[in-house]
Amino acid sequence: MSKKSKLTQAQREQIVEMYKSGMKQKAIAEKMGCTIPNVSYLVKKDRERARTDEKRRRINPKAGGIPKKYPTDPIAFRIGKIIEVESDIQFASDEKVIHTLGSLHKLHLSLHDELRTFVEAQQENVGSNADELRIQIVDAIQALPPILKKQVMEELLADNSNVVRFKSS
């Protein structure tokens, strides 16, 4: 291999595989037409990548990769994102990547606040029956400024074709 030619990605992968199969670095360098330091560098990079992947798996065993489909439930989605961010915070802390910790912590807090809001909203609506919802709607209309209240009432009373009536239980 001449000094200016570079190894292709396939050749790099082949070098790593030959080393993993037990071949010596000198023999690999001679066979692939590159230098021993090149082989050593590629082997070292492969080890580092494997170590990083292993650390990520230990920190968050559920994070085996990007999920194929995100949950449509906003609560489940945010729980998953909080777990991912916790994993990233732990990884950044372990690897001493301090410049990203601040933004990761802010993101974590933001997701936590959103999750709490969704959970509270869901709990408020869980026990609602038709009568409770009617009361909430009337209270909301009564709380409007007089001009808006008048417009809403006119709209509700003007055309009943788009109104669905609930039967009282």
Q: What are 26-55's pLDDT values in tens digits?
A: 999 999 999 999 999 999 999 888 887 777
Task: Supply the pTM of this predicted model.
Answer: 0.37
Q: What are 117-158's pLDDT values in tens digits?
A: 877 777 666 556 677 777 777 888 888 888 888 877 777 777
Extract the tokens encoding 109: 């807090």
**How far is Cα 34 from Cα 28, in angstroms, rounded to an integer?**
8
Q: What are 69-103's pLDDT values in tens digits?
A: 556 677 777 777 788 888 878 888 877 777 877 78
96: which residues sit within 8 A by CB, 6+ positions away?
none
Give the range of the structural domain holding residue 137, as residue numbers without chain letter. 129-160
For the chain, the domain total comes to: 3
In a shared domain, residues 21 and 35: yes
Asked whether residue 86 is assigned to any structural domain, the reply reads: yes
Vertex 64 angle, CA 59 and 65, to 5°:
120
